Structure 1
Amino acid sequence: MKQKIIHYYSNFIQTKIDSLRQMITDLTEDAKNDAKGSAGDKHETALSMMHLEQEKLNQKLKEFLDAKSIFDSIDFEKFNTKVSIGSLVLANDIYFLISVSLPKVEIEGKTIFAVSPQALLAQMLMGSVSGDEISVNNVSYKIQSIL
């Protein structure tokens, strides 16, 4: 199960990176094509809007490249009896992958959250062992297992 989750999230990150790169390339091409045949205020406004969109996409790309770098550096094979970075924690029938913050997914009917170690939930989980109970935002979590 852990390998499927890691594989899913690794593919998810790479797909986002590829998609963002393609959008940036397309926007650059559009700007070049627009520059060839237009002039005036409308043209300048359109180019400015394209430039702003390109900056947003570049920022998003940087975030995903950083996430990929961190995700790829985590040793998911290392087994600990205590929750640490790279652990897959089952608590309240929900899986939490302590890695980088990524969207919730469903795999084989199971709910999985990829949680950054900086997140409050991850901080509360870190160092815990199977059977421990923690409480975050008035929600109690009982650790069923650490994978």
Structure 2
Amino acid sequence: MTLKEQVYNQCVNIVSQRITDVQKTLDDLRESIANETKSTAGDKYETARAMLHIEQENVTKQMTDLLEQKAQLEKLSMIEASDTVIKGSLVKTDRGYLFLSIALGKIKLSDQTVVALSPQSPLGKQLMGLRVGESTLMNGTKYAVEGIE
């Protein structure tokens, strides 16, 4: 398995685990709302229930964001080779590996650390379209492209 495939699989695993965790939180909130209905009365009931609904809305938004991230990952072409940096590229720079996919941050593999970043991020935008041997400057830091997978 190539490094790019390992990184991609780890990204999918991370997002899938987060989806599972958020789904459990949503299930717990639904149960809490149902129990709140049964166990309290008056203004206290209304306040507690409203707070639970607000929390449920926030967690539902997290779930929507995670599902969007998963969809973005699934759209990436893992076999497409390119001479330039594109979405889905694993870029070897003089500062380490960068995976232009979704914003997950550092991903630790057995022998390597890779930063998963969005192509829409400031650094992602500057890397898009670069070729091996080219470089970009971001906040005073130079990133030289040494390889593209």
TM class by smaller structure? over 0.9
Q: Across the two proteins, how many residue pairs are aligned to each other? A: 147
Measured after TM superposition, the shift of residue 20 of structure 1 is 0.7
- Residue of structure 1 in register with 2:146 after alignment: 144
AA of the residue aligned to 2:77? D
Q: TM-score scaled to structure 1, two decimals? A: 0.94
Could you tell me how far 1:92 is from its partner in structure 2? 2.0
Give secondary structure in 1 for the equivalent of 2:125. Answer: helix
Which residue of 2 is the match for residue 28 of structure 1?
30
Percentage of pairs with the same residue: 30
- Coordinate RMSD, CA, aligned: 1.2
**What stretches of structure 1 move > 6 A for 4+ residues in a row?**
none
The 10-residue stretch of structure 1 (8-17 or 92-101) with the greater mean CA deviation from structure 2: 92-101
Aligned equivalents of 1:142, 1:85: Cα separation in 2:
18
Gap runs ≥5 in structure 1: none
Q: Which amino acid aligns with 2:82?
A: N
Task: State how 1:10-89 maps to structure 2 within 5 Å.
Answer: 10-89=12-91
Write the mapping of 1:87-106 to structure 2, written as runs, cut at 5 A: 87-106=89-108
Q: Which amino acid is 1:39 matched to?
A: A
Q: Distance in 1 between matches of 2:97 and 2:143?
A: 11
Gap regions ≥5 residues in structure 2: none
SS in 1 for 2:114: strand
Task: Tell me the TM-score normalised to structure 2 length.
Answer: 0.93
